[in-house]
């Protein structure tokens, strides 16, 4: 029986997280923060989180940590590396170089953010997620999730 002053279940206290859902949410949140607010700083935090929990995290958290870290590296290569390559190929002072670079950046960045939002929603729902095309497949994909 609930007392008059007590909170309903799940409100006012943190439930135990034996599946690693909160760690999965942190991983995907840091991925998005890396893309949107604090590039580099959030990546270092994500790297620290992965190094700290890579062997001890529950499968759901380990899978999200691995996905978020790997796709952060891929995102850095896709955004910075290929943008620099396009500038080098087209010339720094050519107008069309910047049209191509900005179009490329907006499309790739938008796609990575959209996938990150979906990954965060999956983590919040306690479900595994693999980033399409760029996410690593492997043993940490979680139960019932294709590799």
Q: Are 50 and 65 in contact (CB under 8 A)?
A: yes
Mean pLDDT of 34-58: 96
Joined tokens for residue 42: 């959030």
Mean pLDDT of 13-23: 69
pLDDT attached to residue 141: 45
Other C-beta atoms closer than 10 Å to the C-beta of 32 total 18
- Whether the predicted pLDDT of 6 surpasses 70: no
Overall size of the chain counted in residues? 147
Question: Average model confidence (pLDDT) for the chain?
Answer: 86
The alpha carbon dihedral of 81, 86, 92, 93 has a sign of: negative
Q: Are 113 and 36 in contact (CB under 8 A)?
A: yes
pLDDT attached to residue 38: 95
Q: Flag whether the pTM goes above 0.85.
A: no
pLDDT attached to residue 8: 41
35-64 burial code (b ≥16 CB/10 A, e <16):
beeeeeebbebbeebbeebeeebbbbbbbb
Per-residue pLDDT tens for 82-107? 999 999 999 989 999 999 999 999 99
Task: Please give the residue that has the higher pLDDT: either 144 or 83.
Answer: 83
- Whether the predicted pLDDT of 71 surpasses 70: yes
């Amino acid at each position: 029986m609930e007392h008059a002053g007590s909170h309903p279940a799940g409100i006012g206290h943190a439930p135990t997280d034996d599946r690693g859902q909160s760690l999965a949410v942190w991983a995907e949140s840091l991925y998005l923060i890396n893309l949107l607010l604090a590039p580099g700083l959030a990546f270092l935090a994500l790297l620290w989180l992965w190094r700290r929990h890579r062997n001890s995290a529950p499968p759901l958290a380990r899978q999200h940590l691995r996905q978020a870290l790997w796709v952060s590296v891929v995102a850095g290569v896709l955004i910075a590396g290929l943008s620099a390559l396009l500038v080098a190929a087209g010339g720094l002072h050519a107008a069309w170089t910047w049209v191509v670079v900005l179009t490329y950046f907006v499309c790739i960045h938008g796609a990575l953010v959209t996938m990150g939002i979906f990954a965060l929603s999956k983590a919040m729902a306690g479900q595994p997620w693999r980033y399409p095309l760029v996410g690593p497949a492997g043993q940490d994909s979680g139960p019932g999730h294709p590799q």
